[in-house]
């Protein structure tokens, strides 16, 4: 298994280099470093010297990918791409391109904590609530509860998450004044600001997740071991909770695992709607401000977390299901 | 003569229509396909949502014939002067909804209102007063305000009556078609229809048509004289905006999935069949693509495209063309960034298929790899492509709303559900509340997405031999 993990890690590094190359190409095919300098220095008259100074300060004064003037290996290493990629691999994100030039690494660390406060409850509760809801439907299968439950699921998954947010904010903050509309405070006060986004996030995904898990449970219910368990005379709750639930853990793990990257990256929609200063809203600010250094760092972190979570999920399979052998 | 304008997305909508018709011809010719699609249509939810989807698609098609009006010649101009055209690009839908388009108010007005929503300083009987101003177009022909309610009721009743009549005509038409197909009397067919004893669930279709007509009849009747869904901040009719958004949603739903197909199908089949280094490269590519957070990737691409559009203003004659190119490129970007899932699915399926006897037999006969992939593998994965296409349709419509919110969606000048929701957000925090834009966007979007979802479920159940339908059923006493 160690062998497998090491191999996957190497592959991950390869992917990360590719990701970095893609972001670079995407950005620099339309924006030259000169454009960036002009945009960030601002003002109407920008002299050539100012641009040069900005580029030297931020390290954009070298050629992008290929330094024809240098010799030997320096043709590759003496470029913006090499400099930036190497420092990114060492998790040194440098400073943002905007005039404030904040330290991106520090900012990301700070904001990731805030994102986690929102995302971890969502992640855990999502699995619990969806599985519970699905179990309820499965337990009452072939009854009106099941039928109308699924109808509700289909209806709910046809509604955009934005509608949930808007209606939720309107009802709970404006009409009933239960929670603040948006904003954030650190410490225990955060709970007041987080409860609504967490609830709404759960609600907005309950339809699709509930239906998915219900299908998974029904799939498991058709298997032989269920018949054996029933033949032994086990009660239906015992079959469902003792046997089916444990066996359905693998598909549940797979589908929940695909959300793992977003636990760290935060949800764009929920963070910016509720004014929570996490990574999601950081990304939106960077996109609107065209701050390439931040966007690139976020893409890098996103891919890193994605790759890492998939390795974790693979390892988790062996733990949930002893039959799985990683080779 | 107006100048016909063919926008990129028009081509897409019309090409979709042509492709659907061609596919229909193909279904008629192939017994196998016909059986599968009949299975889809036998599903009551699927056939009802198909009716709704056809209605929405019709709106999108009507909205896809664009032209620019010819301007009247200036009196001093000579004959040699070139014909000038209006700067506004209009569609056939705009002509049909000319009243909604022309009848602009100054600001917000509630649905069916005849007075504005916000107070304004106006002259009443020679005196300056601060009051809710009378709308310029909403209920303009009413002489007295007390006539509003009777007028509303009368119009709604007329619309309802006409709608129900149209639905009855449609039901008669269906019964007539059944009677002809089965060579039986019209009365027999009519009774079979009412008792739900037809092969396809036609009664459900008739009920759907009846509900749609009963909804749209009064709506259209009232729209002749009022703003049925009110007006937005700049006084534009919300009903008109919602109808225009349908086309945007359709273009995004169809074009984005079509754009994924060449890469997903090509790379998926090739990598699954050839294996070796090709497979490694393709796997690397889609791992790379799916490891970048989707919104970030799309945002980066859209910003790039926006820079291109901004730096080449000479390429586009009108604002509509520019907005349309943005929509088109957005779909292409969604396609180019979203092929990983389908590619992975097709690769796995191809790997399974290439082990089967018939493919091995073809290899043994010396059929070339390219031919095997096209003739033997591709037809056997088409069902996966169809299922993914219909399933993605509704997901993309929902995604557009999120992208518009982030600011990387369609052009702000183009009507879209995302744009409407975005504006509705600020309106919902106004006091007094402006709810109608939000409600209209909600109603239209949920109907469209729900219909698409239900139809997709029917297609999946019919096309995937392995998928087990876990539809819940209400036990009936009769059955």
For A180, counting Cβ atoms within 10 Å of its Cβ (0-12 exposed, 13-18 middle, 19+ buried), the class is middle
Cβ-defined contact of A288 to B407 (cutoff 8 Å): yes
**Which residues share a beta bridge with B109?**
B231
Candidates B341, B344, B457, B470: best to mutate against A (most CBs of A within 10 A) is B470
Closest listed residue to residue B228, CA positions, set B52, B344, B307, B110: B110
Cβ-defined contact of B398 to A265 (cutoff 8 Å): no
Q: With 80 as the cut, is the pLDDT of residue A28 above it?
A: no
Largest CA distance in chain A: 86
Identify which of B296, B407, B408 has the shortest CB distance to residue A302.
Answer: B296
Mean pLDDT for all residues in chain A: 82
- Among left, alpha and beta (phi > 0; psi -120 to 50; other), residue B407 is left
Three-class secondary structure of residue B37 per DSSP: helix
A214-244 residue pLDDT tens: 988 988 888 899 999 999 999 888 888 888 8
Dig out the tokens for B473 from the structure.
């059923």
Cβ-defined contact of A142 to B424 (cutoff 8 Å): no
Candidates B281, B293, B404: best to mutate against A (most CBs of A within 10 A) is B293
Whether the CB-CB separation of A95 and A116 falls below 8 Å is answered with no
Whether the CB-CB separation of A274 and A9 falls below 8 Å is answered with no
Q: Does A22 touch chain B (CB under 8 A)?
A: yes
In the 3-class helix/strand/coil scheme, how is chain A assigned residue by residue?
Answer: CHHHHHHHHHHHHHHHHHHHHHHHHHHHCCCCHHHHHHHHHCCCCCCHHHHHHHHHHHCCCCCCCCCCCCCCCHHHHCCHHHHHHHHHHCCCCCECCCCCCCEHHHHHHHHHHHHHHHHHHHHHHHHHHHHHHHHHHHHCCCCHHHHHHHHHHHHHHCCCHHHHHHHHHHHHHHHCCCCCCCCCCCHHHHHHHHHHHHHHHHHHHHHHHHHHHHHHHHHHHCCHHHHHHHHCCCCHHHHHHHHHHHHCHHHHHHHHHCCHHHHHHCCHHHHHHCCCCCHHHHHHHHHHHCCHHHHHHHHHHHHHHHHHHHHHHHHHHHHHCCCCCCC
Q: Does A313 touch chain B (CB under 8 A)?
A: no
Cβ-defined contact of A144 to B308 (cutoff 8 Å): no
A164-205 residue pLDDT tens: 988 888 888 888 888 887 778 777 777 888 888 899 999 998
**Closest chain B residue by Cα to residue A21:** B288
Q: What's the pLDDT score for residue B351?
A: 92
List chain A residues with CB under 8 Å of B442.
159, 163
DSSP H helices in B354-478: 357-364, 369-371, 378-406, 417-428, 436-463
**Which residues share a beta bridge with B129?**
B122
Dig out the tokens for A55 from the structure.
């580029």
Q: What's the pLDDT score for residue B161?
A: 93
List chain A residues with CB under 8 Å of B310.
none
Mean pLDDT per 10-residue interval, chain B, length 479 residues? 82 91 91 89 90 92 86 61 75 82 79 78 77 76 77 88 92 89 85 83 89 89 83 84 90 90 93 91 90 83 80 79 88 90 92 91 91 91 90 90 83 86 82 85 92 91 75 59
Dig out the tokens for B471 from the structure.
């539809």
- 């998915």: which residue's tokens? A212
List chain B residues with CB under 8 Å of A170.
428-429
**Strand B3-5, strand B66-70: pairing:** antiparallel
Identify which of A144, A161, A303 has the shortest CB distance to residue B291.
Answer: A303
Q: For the beta carbon of residue A168, count every other beta carbon within 10 angstroms.
A: 20
Q: What's the pLDDT score for residue A156?
A: 92
Q: Does A258 touch chain B (CB under 8 A)?
A: no
Whether the CB-CB separation of B421 and B441 falls below 8 Å is answered with yes
**Which residues share a beta bridge with B122?**
B129
Cβ-defined contact of B471 to A166 (cutoff 8 Å): no
B124, B126, B128, B130 alpha-carbon torsion, rounded to 10°:
-10
- 């989707």: which residue's tokens? B294
Q: What's the pLDDT score for residue A109?
A: 87
Cβ-defined contact of B394 to A218 (cutoff 8 Å): no
Shortest Cα–Cα distance, B196 to chain A (Å): 22
The percentage of chain A sitting over the pLDDT mark of 70, rounded to a whole number, equals 94
List chain B residues with CB under 8 Å of A20.
none
Q: What's the pLDDT score for residue A278?
A: 85
A115-142 residue pLDDT tens: 888 888 999 999 999 999 999 999 888 8
Chain A 179-198, CB below 8 Å of chain B: which residues?
A: 181
DSSP character at residue B224: T
């Amino acid at each position: 298994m160690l062998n497998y993990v090491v191999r996957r890690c190497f592959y991950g590094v390869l992917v990360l280099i590719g990701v970095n190359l893609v972001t670079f190409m995407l950005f620099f095919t339309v924006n030259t470093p000169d454009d960036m300098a002009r945009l960030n220095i601002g003002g109407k008259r920008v002299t050539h010297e100012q641009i040069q100074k900005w580029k030297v300060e931020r390290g954009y004064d070298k050629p992008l990918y290929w330094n024809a003037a240098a010799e030997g290996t320096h043709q590759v290493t003496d470029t913006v791409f090499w400099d930036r990629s190497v420092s990114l691999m060492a998790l040194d994100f440098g400073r943002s391109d905007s005039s404030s030039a904040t330290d991106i690494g520090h900012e990301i660390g700070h904001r990731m904590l805030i994102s986690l406060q929102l995302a971890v409850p969502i992640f855990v509760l999502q699995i619990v609530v969806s599985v519970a809801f699905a179990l309820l439907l499965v337990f009452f299968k072939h009854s009106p509860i099941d039928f109308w439950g699924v109808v509700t699921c289909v209806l709910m998954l046809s509604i955009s998450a934005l509608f949930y947010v808007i209606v939720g904010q309107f009802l709970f903050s404006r009409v009933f004044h239960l929670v603040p509309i948006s904003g954030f405070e650190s410490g225990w006060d955060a709970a007041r600001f987080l409860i609504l986004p967490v609830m709404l996030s759960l609600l907005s995904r309950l339809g699709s997740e509930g239906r998915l898990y219900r299908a998974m449970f029904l799939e498991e219910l058709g298997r032989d071991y269920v018949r054996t368990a029933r033949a032994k005379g086990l009660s239906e709750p015992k079959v469902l909770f003792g046997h089916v639930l444990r066996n359905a853990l693998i598909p549940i793990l797979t589908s929940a695992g695909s959300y793992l990257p977003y636990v760290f990256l935060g949800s764009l929609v929920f963070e910016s709607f509720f004014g929570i200063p996490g990574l999601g809203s950081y990304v939106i600010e960077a996109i609107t401000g065209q701050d390439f250094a931040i966007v690139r760092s976020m893409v890098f972190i996103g891919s890193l977390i994605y790759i890492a979570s998939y390795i974790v999920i693979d390892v988790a399979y062996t733990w949930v299901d002893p039959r799985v052998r990683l080779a | 003569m107006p100048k016909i304008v063919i926008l990129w997305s028009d081509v897409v909508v019309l090409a979709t229509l042509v492709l659907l018709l061609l596919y229909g011809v193909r279904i008629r010719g192939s017994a196998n396909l016909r059986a599968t699609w009949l299975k889809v249509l036998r599903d009551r939810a699927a056939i009802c949502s198909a009716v709704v989807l056809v209605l929405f698609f019709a709106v999108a098609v009507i909205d896809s014939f664009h032209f620019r009006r010819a301007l009247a010649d200036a009196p001093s101009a000579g004959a040699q002067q070139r014909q000038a055209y209006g700067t506004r690009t209009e569609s056939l839908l705009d002509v049909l909804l000319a009243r909604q388009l022309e009848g602009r108010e100054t600001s917000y007005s509630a649905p069916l209102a005849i007075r504005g929503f916000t107070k304004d300083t106006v002259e009443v009987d020679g005196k300056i007063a601060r009051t809710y101003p009378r709308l310029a177009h909403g209920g303009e022909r009413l002489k007295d305000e007390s006539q509003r309610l009777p007028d509303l009721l009368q119009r709604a009743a007329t619309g309802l009556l006409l709608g129900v009549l149209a639905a009855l005509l449609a039901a008669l038409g269906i019964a007539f078609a059944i009677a002809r197909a089965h060579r039986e009397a019209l009365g027999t067919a009519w009774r079979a229809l009412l008792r739900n004893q037809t092969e396809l669930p036609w009664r459900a279709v008739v009920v759907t048509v009846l509900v749609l007509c009963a909804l749209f009849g009064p709506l259209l009747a009232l729209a002749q004289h009022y703003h049925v869904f009110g007006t937005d901040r700049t006084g534009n009719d919300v009903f008109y905006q919602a109808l225009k958004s349908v086309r945007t949603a359709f273009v995004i739903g169809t074009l984005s999935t079509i754009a994924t197909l060449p890469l997903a199908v090509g790379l998926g089949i090739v990598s699954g069949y050839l294996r070796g280094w090709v497979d490694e490269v393709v796997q690397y590519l889609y791992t790379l693509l799916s490891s970048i957070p989707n919104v970030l990737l799309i945002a980066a691409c859209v910003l790039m495209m926006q820079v291109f559009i901004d730096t080449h203003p000479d390429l586009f004659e009108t604002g509509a063309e520019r907005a349309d190119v943005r929509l088109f490129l957005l779909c292409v970007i969604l396609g180019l960034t979203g092929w990983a899932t389908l590619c992975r699915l097709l690769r796995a399926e191809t790997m399974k298929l290439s082990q089967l006897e018939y493919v091995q037999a073809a290899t043994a006969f010396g059929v070339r790899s390219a031919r095997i992939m096209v003739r033997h593998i591709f037809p056997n994965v088409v069902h996966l492509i169809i299922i993914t296409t219909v399933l993605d349709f509704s997901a993309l419509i929902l995604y557009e709303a999120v992208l518009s919110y982030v600011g990387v969606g369609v052009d702000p000048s183009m009507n879209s559900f995302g744009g409407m929701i975005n504006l509705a957000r600020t309106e919902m925090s106004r006091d007094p509340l402006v709810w109608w834009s939000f409600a209209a966007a909600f109603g239209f979007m949920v109907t469209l997405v729900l219909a698409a979802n239900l139809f997709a479920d029917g297609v999946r159940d019919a096309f995937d031999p392995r998928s087990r339908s876990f539809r819940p059923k209400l036990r009936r006493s009769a059955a």
